[in-house]
């Protein structure tokens, strides 16, 4: 039997903008208002007010951890002006998690920034690092007992969002591509994240990590979209080239961190021309990705190698499907690959499923990833069988 580390985290994840609702001061709220064809987050699933109920459902099912985020746009709605009430809100969330026996894993930036930050040049603006540092320092004040902090979520996807919001490109691109997380027939391959943006985000991450190490006892890392790329015959060099730009730059920046957050959903081949689009298949998921539960094993092995052996927390893994039996089948197989990786000596500290709740998938409501369904009119939570199933796996510590 696979020996998991004592205290292995079994949990589920969300991000503030996707579940809280009315994130009015964020850049994404503006994007939703001004992008034709994009669905809006609106009230989302009102987790801003119902977080205690959400956490209780996870804890009652048997899970031991909850990954959620702190929203910069709420904490600092105007440059330099801190909302004490917002800070107190997130502090209560952290306390609630502990009271319910859930280890909080806190993300400080999950794709969204304050509107003012984006309008003033965003991540490429001259004051970007300084501003992020000031926010992280403010947030650190409530992170006293938190053991796991992710500075930034999927900088390799965030870099594509930065590219999409470049006014030089926006008119053409916005029409074609709503979000990098959902495959689009008109845009079958994601653009490359620009290394200039990636390096800036790495600088921000390192600056944030330094503050967190000074001001908290937390383990600090960032999370990367692990795309489990594989080479078609004879294309190993091309694989390395593509993977560096899309992923390894970000994994290598995690060397020296306390952990790396691995986020895995599917796998894609690389041929002589680059990434091969997901082949159309009846079992593709609701985001258009291939059904590849084996991706997690590939992702864990690659992240371990590319970071030079940084301990891993699976901060996201899941499937967009309306069929919950499919979610259980996918997750069961993915966990089998996780256990094999642990058997092979890879240091995995936990598994956090994406997502706790069906939520706002960046411009789309249709792709449902949740262990819990939500009625978007009444906000009633309806746990799916997959929640009880994952809770039982967590209690046993095996499949
Ligand atoms: C992101 C989540 C997103 C999920 C599913 C990741 O890219 O961190 O915010 O909802 O994948 O697409």
Please indicate whether residue 225, judged by its CB atom, sits closer than 6 Å to ligand 1: yes
Please indicate whether residue 150, judged by its CB atom, sits closer than 6 Å to ligand 1: no
pLDDT of residue 126: 96
Please indicate whether residue 358, judged by its CB atom, sits closer than 6 Å to ligand 1: no
Sheet holding 229-231, edge to edge: 229-231, 268-271, 274-275
Which residue in the block uniquely carries the two structure tokens 């069988």?
385
Among 7, 1, 9, smallest CA distance to 339 is for 1
**Distance between CA 299 and CA 249 in Å, rounded?**
15
Q: Which of 178, 316, 327, 330 to mutate to test the pocket of ligand 1 (most atoms within 8 A of CB)?
A: 316
pLDDT of residue 174: 62
- What is residue 93's three-state secondary structure? helix
Strands (E) in 89-209, as ranges, are 103-107, 148-150
384 C-alpha to ligand 1 centroid (Å): 20
Please indicate whether residue 354, judged by its CB atom, sits closer than 6 Å to ligand 1: yes
Contacts of 380 (CB under 8 A, 6+ apart): 374
Strands 260-264 and 223-226: parallel
Contacts of 185 (CB under 8 A, 6+ apart): none
| Nearest alpha carbon, ligand 1 atom 7 | 181
Tell which atom from ligand 1 comes closest to the C-alpha of 359: 10
pLDDT in tens, 38-68: 999 999 999 999 999 999 999 999 999 999 9
What H or E segment, with its residue span, contains residue 60?
helix 47-61
Can you spell out the DSSP letters for 190-243? PPPPPHHHHHHHHHHHHHHHHHHHHH---EEE-EEEE--EEEPTT-HHHHHHHH
CB 318 within 8 A of CB 331: yes
Cα–Cα distances (Å) from 228 to 105, 164, 197, 297, in that order, read 24, 23, 22, 9
pLDDT in tens, 80-89: 999 999 999 9
Tell which atom from ligand 1 comes closest to the C-alpha of 223: 8
| Nearest alpha carbon, ligand 1 atom 12 | 181
pLDDT of residue 173: 66
Tell which atom from ligand 1 comes closest to the C-alpha of 181: 12
Please indicate whether residue 181, judged by its CB atom, sits closer than 6 Å to ligand 1: yes
Please indicate whether residue 107, judged by its CB atom, sits closer than 6 Å to ligand 1: no
pLDDT of residue 175: 60
pLDDT of residue 163: 85
Contacts of 383 (CB under 8 A, 6+ apart): 57, 61, 371, 372, 373
Cα–Cα distances (Å) from 148 to 9, 90, 106, 217, 265, in that order, read 11, 15, 6, 9, 22
Q: Which residues are 107's β-sheet partners?
A: 69, 150
Residues of the chain with pLDDT under 70: 170-177, 185-186
Residue 191 per-residue DSSP state: P
Residue 11 burial (10 A CB sphere; 0-12, 13-18, 19+): buried
301 C-alpha to ligand 1 centroid (Å): 21
């Amino acid at each position: 039997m696979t020996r998991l580390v004592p205290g292995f985290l079994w949990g589920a994840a969300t991000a503030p903008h996707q579940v809280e609702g009315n994130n009015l001061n964020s850049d994404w709220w503006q994007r939703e208002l001004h992008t034709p064809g994009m669905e809006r987050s609106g009230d989302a699933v009102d987790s801003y007010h119902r977080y205690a109920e959400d956490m209780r459902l996870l804890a009652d099912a048997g899970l031991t951890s909850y990954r959620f985020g702190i929203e910069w746009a709420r904490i600092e709605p105007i440059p330099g002006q801190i909302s004490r009430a917002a800070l107190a809100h997130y502090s209560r969330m952290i306390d609630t998690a502990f009271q319910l026996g859930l280890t909080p894993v806190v993300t400080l930036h999950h794709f969204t920034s304050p509107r003012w930050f984006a309008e003033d040049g965003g991540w490429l603006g001259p004051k970007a690092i300084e501003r992020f540092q000031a926010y992280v320092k403010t947030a650190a004040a409530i992170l006293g007992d938190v053991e796991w902090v992710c500075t930034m979520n999927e900088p390799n996807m965030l870099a594509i969002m930065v590219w999409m919001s470049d006014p030089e490109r926006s008119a053409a691109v916005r029409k074609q591509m709503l979000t990098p997380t959902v495959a689009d027939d008109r845009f079958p391959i994601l653009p490359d994240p620009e290394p200039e943006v990636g390096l800036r985000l790495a600088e921000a991450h390192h600056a944030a990590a330094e503050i967190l190490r000074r001001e908290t006892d937390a383990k600090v890392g960032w999370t990367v979209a692990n795309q489990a790329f594989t080479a078609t015959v004879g294309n190993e060099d091309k694989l390395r080239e593509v993977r560096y730009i899309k992923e390894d730059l970000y994994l290598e920046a995690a060397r020296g961190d306390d952990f790396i957050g691995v986020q895995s959903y599917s796998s894609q081949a690389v041929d002589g021309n680059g990434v091969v689009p997901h082949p159309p298949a009846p079992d593709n998921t609701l985001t258009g990705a291939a059904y590849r539960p084996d991706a997690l094993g590939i992702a864990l092995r690659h992240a371990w190698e590319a970071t030079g052996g940084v301990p891993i927390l699976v901060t996201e893994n899941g499937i967009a499907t309306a069929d919950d039996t499919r979610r259980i089948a996918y997750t069961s197989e993915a966990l089998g690959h996780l256990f094999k990786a642990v058997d092979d000596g890879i240091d995995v500290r936990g598994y956090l499923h994406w997502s706790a709740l069906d939520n706002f998938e960046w411009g789309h409501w249709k792709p449902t990833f949740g262990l819990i369904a939500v009625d978007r009119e009444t906000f009633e939570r309806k746990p799916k069988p997959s929640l009880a199933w994952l809770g039982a796996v967590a209690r046993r510590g095996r499949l």
